[in-house]
Structures are given as C-alpha cells and as structure tokens.
Structure 1
Amino acid sequence: MSVLIVGASAAGLTTAETLRRKGFRGRLTILGAEFHPPYDRPPLSKQFLHGTWDETRTHLRPSSILQALDATFILGDPAITLNNHTIHTTTGRSLTADHLVIATGLTPRTLPGPPLQGVHILRTLDDATALRKSLAECRRVVVVGDGVLGAEVAATVRRLGLGVTLVGPQATPMEAQLGAVVGGLLGELHSSEGVELRMGSAVDALVGVDGRVTGVQLAGGVVLPADVVVVALGAAPATGWLEGSGLRVEDGVVCDEYCAAADGVYAAGDVARWSYEGKLVRLENRTNATEQGMCVAANILGERQPYRPVPYFWTDQFSTRIQVHGRPAADLTIAEGNINERFVAHYREAGRVVGVLGWNAPKQTRAHLRNLSGEGTV
C-alpha cells in the first residue's frame, strides 16, 4: 500500500507520522507547494514576526526526525490537477498512490486593486519574512481585518514600537470567535497598549503614490496613513487545483464523517469540510489540523474512526493568552476569577455549557472542561 499526502503542512505531517507510528511501512510521499520543510504557522504572526524566533524555530521537526520518517519529500512543486488518483504538479511530475490525502490548507483573501509595495498578506513563512523586513523600515501600520490573525499582527506590531491601527467590520476585535463581551475586553487591551481601533469600519480602497501604499481609505472617505498595510481578511480553502477532479468541493473538500472525500481520497486540516451529525463543518485552527491528520491516518489503516472533535484554539496578544474550548454563544457567564484580571467563562445555550474560555487562566480552564456538554462539539 502507498500513501501520497498533498500538503507539507501540520495536517500533512501529522498524517504521515501517525501512519508510521501505527505500523505502516509502505511507500509514503509528501508533496509541498513551498520549498520549506513543514513549519508551524501560529508563531508567524507572533514570535517570528517579532524577531524572537528565527526560521529554524518555526520548523515542526528537525531534519533528523524527518529523515527517520522514511518518507519522500517533494518540496516547492505545487499540485495543479488531480485525475483518477494521479496528481500532476507544476514541474510536470505525475504522482499516484493507493491513498491520497489532501492537506493544502488555505489561500489568503486580498483587497481588489493594482499591486502596491508595502501591502502584505500573512500566510506563509515567506510572507512573514517579507513583512518582518518591511516593518523594520516603517513607522505606521494599518491592519485590515479584525479576526484572530489581524488582532495578533496588530499586537505584535505594537510591541515592536510602531504605530498601528486595526480596522474591521465587527464591533469588537475577534467578536465572531469570542463574543461581544470578551471581544470588548480584547479591544480594551489593545487600546490600553496603544493600538488605534477603527471597529465597525469598511475599507473602500488602498491609496498609493508611485506604486507604493500610503494609506487605507475607509467608507465615507477617511484615509488612514500607512507605510505598511497588512491584509488579514481571512482565507479560502486552497481547492482551485481540484477543478475537474470529480471531488465535491464546496467551501473545502467535502468528506464523510471519516474524512473520506472519495474511495481512497481523504482531506485534513483547514481544507477539509466533513460531515458531523448531518451537517458539514470546517475548522481553521492548528489543533484541528493535528487531530484530523491523526484521524485520517487511522482510517487509511482501516480503523473506521468518525471524526468528532471538540474545537479548541488559543491566541496570545501582548501579555494575555486566551483559550477557547467548544464554541462561543451569546449567553456568557464568569465561572471563576475576576473579569478585570484573569478568569474562566462559560458559554451557554439552552442552559448547557457549549464553550469554555480562559483569559490568562490555563490551569483553571482545564479544570472547567468537565462542564462542557456534548453540545460543545462542532
């Protein structure tokens, strides 16, 4: 038996490692679009962007561990089509295997308009390297996007001593992930650290002179001056290369409850949209990439494990760590601690705890997970 993993990502690497750990000794190939070995994405907007980590520290495994995996790594060669279990790549390779795993992740959204110097996205290690270089040569940054990535970038930029404005359509930063109450606390944290917030604002256009960005124009005509603009407006599943493959692609690769998209074809990580209790679900977080990769490996080996995770993500901003297990809901109560310092909160629906949030309280948060009902799953 042979396995071909498309995506040298956290999900892809975890799938490979789990296969080997469970005794698989067949041919194993990992195809990556980037030239870098598998690396971790969460540090890109924090430790790496700040300069406290170098590139090597972002690597998920040292080279010796990757070599011991006894896998063939083909890097810097993106997949461009899939036909009848055969992957075709940019350089003209044709690769096939008994089982295929799609772990190609996401493609960042951008703003319309001509390209301008000083405008950045942040998804890859190369993106982060380019942004870090630009930050060393600027004074004023505007971050467009008030989700996890935008808030993290704004915090890191401010810690570098630069002026930064965070712009987004929500009433508070990360409101979709945290709810209005905790989002409001996060907004207060950013403001106290010197981040200028422009919440509830839509961006009309980027402004530039001689091919270089000079500002961000909001709806209504106000222009925020900027030497650098970071666009963090979310991302879409990287599935364009699957057009004509016969797979069902709708906001991700659609899979059954075992993460199978077709006979011998699986998906894992940000790109996977799988069936859970009659509905289709897709999660974009580091924990899901790992857990889903492990599930895919088990199912390739015939274990028939339905994938039923409890969502979990965390974010570090300034000196605050926020952890969320389950899912947010409108009804939030403080279960332990002080909302002005550190605390654990419960999200409830119909009287049931469907989410647990910790604000600078990792140990206490773990203790509250026993309160999380089955409704806290996806």
Structure 2
Amino acid sequence: MTVTTVQPYTDVHRPPSWWERQSDRVMRRPFNEFTFTHMNWLLPTARVARGPVRRPLPSRPAPLDVRYSFRGREFALADFHRRSFTTTFVVLRRGRIVHERYRGVFAGPRTRMQVFSLSKSVTSILVGAALADGLIGGVTDRVTDYRPDFLGTAYDGVTIADLLDMRSGAGDQEIWGTDTAIRRFERAILSGGDVPAIVRSVPRTALPGTRFNYSTFDAQVLSWVLEAATGSPLAAYASRRLWQPMESDAYYGLSRSHPRTAIGAGALNATARDLARVGLHMLAHPALQPRPGGVYSNQWWTFDQGRFAGIGVHGQYLFVDPAASVVIVKTSAWPVEEDETLEQEAIIALTAVARYLHEH
C-alpha cells in the first residue's frame, strides 16, 4: 500500500473566540470541578435517554481499609483521594455498591461527570452492539465502506479493527501543545470550526495496522463510522443499545459547528453509578473485550491478570477486575490533562482496592 499524505488543515487567520480564550482556564483548578460537572452549560448536547424503569444498584457498604505502596511510601485510600483530586469514587463488588464517596464540590449521585477519553471505551461497546446487530459486517470492514468522504485521506484503507486498536497510521503523536492537531480539533469543537476537515487533513505516518499511536482522531472516526452504519446519531444508538437499564440520562457534548457532531472520542457525561453499570456490562458481555497483553486493545487499556480500564484525561477511570468481580469508577479534577506520576499511582491504588476486596 502506498503511503499518502494530505495537505494539512489550516485555520482561517482570525482573532481567537471567547471560547478559545477560555478553554484553558475552565480546564484548570479550581474552575474545572465546576466545568466537569456542567459541560451542558458550555456546549450543545445530545441526550442519551435511560429506559422507562429506574433500576438502582443494590448497596452493601463495606469498610475499605486499603493501603498501597507507591515510590517507597505507604498510603491509605484517603491519601489517594487527596493526592489525586478525586471528585467521585464508586466501588462495586459482585454487582453491589460496597463503597461510594462524593468528594467534589459539585459531585453527587445524580451529577453527570465529563469523562473525556473514557468515552472511547463506551464507543467500543457500541461498536460491539452494532456487530451483534449485523449493522457492521465485521472489524475488517474499512472506514470508507461507511464514510466515503474519507477516500483519499490517511484513513483510506484503514479498517475498523485498526481504529479500535489505534493502529490507523494516521497522524502524529497526540500532544496537547499550543498549536497541535488535537488543539485545533478542540478549538473547532468549541468555536464552530470544521471538525471533520481537521481529521481528514492529518497525514499518513505509518501503514495501517503496523504501529500503535494513541489517537483521539481514530476514536472520533470510529464514532462516525458507527453513526453511518446504524443510521442513528450516536446518542440515540447509545440509548437504545446500552443506556436502557441505567438510573439517569447521560449526554454527549456536540460541536458548535453545523451540522452538529457528537464527540464520541471524548465528550460523554454520565453519573458515576451509571459508569459503574457500564463496567458491569463489560463483565457480562464477551463482545469486543480487550485482549490481554495488548496494552491498548479495543479502546481499553489492559493490565496484569486480565484487569482493564477506560481512562480519560484529568483523572477519569473506569477500572474493571474480572477475576475479583470488581468495578471501580473514579472521576477527578486534575490540574493538568496528563500527569505520569498520578497515572501510575492511580492504577496501583485501584488495583490495591480490587485485590483487597478479592481477598476479603
């Protein structure tokens, strides 16, 4: 296959909009505790409706006297919450809530949290549903089978499997710099730019299927493929195939540009309890499970002993330990998008919680 390049998308030279000037501020502490619980005040949204019967999760509170070691020091769970700016923390064991805390100023059982790239993992579940429904023929189908507007771009020849594992070969390393592709994508969403044009503009940097490169664009293209295959907006299909047993409605953030597009790669907002139900869905349904040893597989991060997680920037986690039958939801308001130290500590602490419950 020939490696092709596409001319990069360039923004029209104009003064930055109010949304562009404010985007960094509202994502930083202390403002982000409000922002991450009120994204519907900042963006257009599409409702993900729950079903007609509310089915609360059963609750059986239990003590969590968990301690973990990190970088030569021992910490308690309360230390972890303080150090990692936890806003909500919900733990399920065998389908029951055993621990539930709402530490954020605006957090509560009915509060819908912005989960950023954890949204990608939910999109993966919906792709699995579309495969089961026969609406997607198979993961070897190509992007252009469903979105012919990507012919001639770096996504020409890319399969659904490539998107699921982020091996499209499209685009460079995702860096949250001043004028990187992901920042232009964010500005287009907030300010009404042409979101698909930015994604179509990225160059091909590797042959499809040959190299992992974490890519929000791959996940967004996957959500567009899903919409085309199902003939439904993302929120409507999520409501029909995933959200019926939930306790509360969720919503997706939409771009400001017309036609609106749901940001399936990073703009789902849902309660912590309902995110925990998503984890239960993963325990109960084998379709598109992450493959062990793949590090990143089917839009999930994988860890030792079969554990896996959906993860979003600023510290959003849906952590699943199938062997322990444990699901943990942690939402956070980190001061920055990514922090390697906090990321390492979070996985160690969440693993410690799951291990504690498995042993007790």
TM-score > 0.5 by shorter chain:
no
Q: TM-score range by the shorter chain?
A: under 0.3
TM-score of the pair, normalised by structure 1: 0.22
* Larger Rg over CA atoms: 1
Normalized per residue, the structure richer in strand is: 1
TM-score of the pair, normalised by structure 2: 0.23
